[in-house]
Amino acid sequence: MTYYQFIHEVEVRVKEEMKDGVMVYIRSAVKNNGTKRHGLTIAKKGINIYPTIYLEEYYQQFQRGSSVESIAGEILRLYKEIRFQRSFEWEFFKDYREVRRRIVYRLVNREANKELLEEVPYEEYLDLAVVFYVMFEVNSHGMASMMVRDEHLKMWGVSKKEILSEARENTERLLPYEFRTMFALLEELTGEVGSGCEDIMYVMSNRARSYGAATILYEERLDGIGDYLKENYYVLPSSVHEVIIVPESAASGHEAMNALVAEVNETQIEAEEILSDHAYYYDRRKRELYL
């Protein structure tokens, strides 16, 4: 079964289980890095906000042997957990006084998002771009948010400088940083206790672990890591969701770090989640992050 046959079959199976007043249809969307994705939108009559459940990962499950029936069942269970029970109040979004405390930022690759950046306010940072979102909710399934576009600035009557100032305060407040050893993270994810080897790699993200690479922008955070390590270090953009910190004494040089990032991007990371194709270097004395 091809991918397109699969998504239409899943659409049919999910539709069969839905009650009257609920529409199910396939939706295509251009996501981060210009990646085109297909999802199943499930819209309940009378509710003006609804989830889209993307299907690429489910197709991988199908290729590994899962049945369409079991996948449709998973999607239905997920929908019951994440569906919205009431409509979104658009008047709230139109009032900048209401949304200003919810504006946060994310980091994305500037070159890979050139078309998107023509329509949104952004700030350049190294080879990256700082973009802005209004965050509505964070839970175990992810973050409900809306990207801030140029048209929104006009509607609110504010400048990019103003929302950047708000985002600097809000992001650190709403999405606190998390800094831990790689071993500690692996223990949490796998449930297996580490071998007791010396920790030489660290992972930094936000507690939601959603677009947590932006924590490198948090005020004095990179300085604090340098003080903790007592040396310069590399920042490896593992994905848009986190970065890996490697002390210079444990690294094997610029070229090796760049090669590692490129290899991980090529073999382990979905195209939508790639942040950059090379490592960064933090100089404690200059208090600056470099390409």
pLDDT at 73: 96
What whole-number distance in Å separates Cα of residue 36 and Cα of residue 38? 7
Is the same domain home to 69 and 34?
A: yes
pLDDT at 50: 87
CB-side exposure of 250: number of CA atoms within 13 Å?
15
pLDDT at 88: 75
What whole-number distance in Å separates Cα of residue 136 and Cα of residue 99? 9
What whole-number distance in Å separates Cα of residue 42 and Cα of residue 18? 9
Instruction: Show which of 82, 112, 129 is a domain's final residue.
Output: 82
pLDDT at 141: 66
Which two three-digit tokens encode residue 206? 């936000």
What whole-number distance in Å separates Cα of residue 284 and Cα of residue 217? 15
Is the same domain home to 182 and 261?
A: yes
Is the same domain home to 107 and 149?
A: yes
Range of the domain at 7: 3-82
pLDDT at 191: 66
- Dihedral angle, C-alpha 104, 110, 115, 120, nearest 10 °: 30
pLDDT at 112: 97
Which two three-digit tokens encode residue 254? 């610029």
Is the same domain home to 268 and 191?
A: yes
Is the same domain home to 30 and 115?
A: no
Is the same domain home to 195 and 161?
A: no
Domain count, the chain: 3
What whole-number distance in Å separates Cα of residue 192 and Cα of residue 27? 39
User: Which strand (E) or helix (H) includes residue 145?
Assistant: strand 142-147
Question: Residue 272 CA to chain centroid, in angstroms?
Answer: 9
Is the same domain home to 242 and 257?
A: yes
Neighbours of 179 (CB within 10 A): 14
Is the same domain home to 49 and 18?
A: yes
Instruction: Show which of 55, 82, 109 is a domain's final residue.
Output: 82
pLDDT at 193: 60
Instruction: Show which of 140, 174, 208 is a domain's final residue.
Output: 174
Is the same domain home to 126 and 211?
A: no
Neighbours of 152 (CB within 10 A): 21
Q: List the chain pLDDT tens, one digit each, 291 residues.
A: 999 999 999 999 999 999 888 999 999 999 999 999 999 999 999 888 888 999 999 999 999 999 999 999 999 999 998 888 777 777 888 999 999 999 999 999 999 999 999 999 999 999 999 999 999 887 766 778 899 999 999 999 999 999 999 999 999 999 999 999 988 877 776 666 655 555 789 999 999 999 999 999 999 999 999 999 999 999 999 999 999 999 999 999 899 999 999 999 999 999 999 999 999 999 999 999 998
pLDDT at 3: 96
pLDDT at 19: 85
Is the same domain home to 199 and 262?
A: yes
Which two three-digit tokens encode residue 40? 């199943």
Task: Name the DSSP letter for residue 101.
Answer: G
pLDDT at 195: 53
